[in-house]
Amino acid sequence: MTVTTHSEEETRNLGKSIAMQCKPGTVISLRGSLGSGKTVFAKGLAEGLGIGEAIVSPTFTLIQEYEGSLPLYHMDLYRIEGIEEFEMIGGEELLYGKGVTLIEWSEKVEELLPDSTIFVHIRIMPNQERIITLEGVQL
């Protein structure tokens, strides 16, 4: 399924609508280039999970945990080298946790992702619209 968003608000609202379908153990692979809107999507997902804290990209901390109707484990794997480093930070345990695991740059650990992973790929168009491709989820 492909969705076009025309503003940050629409991208955030898409994240919110996906949050409504999440249950414990949901894993979401969030892909896109730097500045594509991954953190905006994450903010909407967090809002949909009832999280009131400010959501920031965990580029330097690698994993941020938030409490809401379900815990949110927001990972940014941009700085890791691969599977071994992911396992060393305890990332694999969160793939089968009690909350929702949102992973930016998940292609670095793709072979570890559960079969039920929801894939969200965001592309920026020249007019600043976002083309968002969703796999594993219905709207």
* CB 59 within 8 Å of CB 135: no
Mean pLDDT of 69-82: 91
- The whole-number pLDDT of residue 59 equals 66
Mean pLDDT of 61-88: 91
Residue 100 or 76, more confident: 100
pLDDT over 80 (residue 58): no
Which sign does the torsion angle of CA 94, 99, 103, 106 carry? positive
Residues ≥6 apart with Cβ < 8 Å to 10: none
Tens-digit pLDDT profile for residues 9-50:
999 999 999 999 999 999 999 999 988 999 999 999 999 999
* CB 42 within 8 Å of CB 100: no
CATH of domain 2-135: 3.40.50.300
- The whole-number pLDDT of residue 113 equals 95
Q: CB atoms < 10 A from the CB of 134, how many?
A: 17
Mean pLDDT of 115-119: 96
Query: Per-residue DSSP letters for 83-96?
Result: HHHHHHTTHHHHTT
DSSP state letter for 107: G
Tens-digit pLDDT profile for residues 80-97:
888 999 998 888 888 988
Model pTM?
0.93
Q: CB atoms < 10 A from the CB of 7, how many?
A: 12
CA-CA distance, 25 to 112, in Å (whole number)? 14
- The whole-number pLDDT of residue 57 equals 77
* CB 46 within 8 Å of CB 11: no
- The whole-number pLDDT of residue 90 equals 85
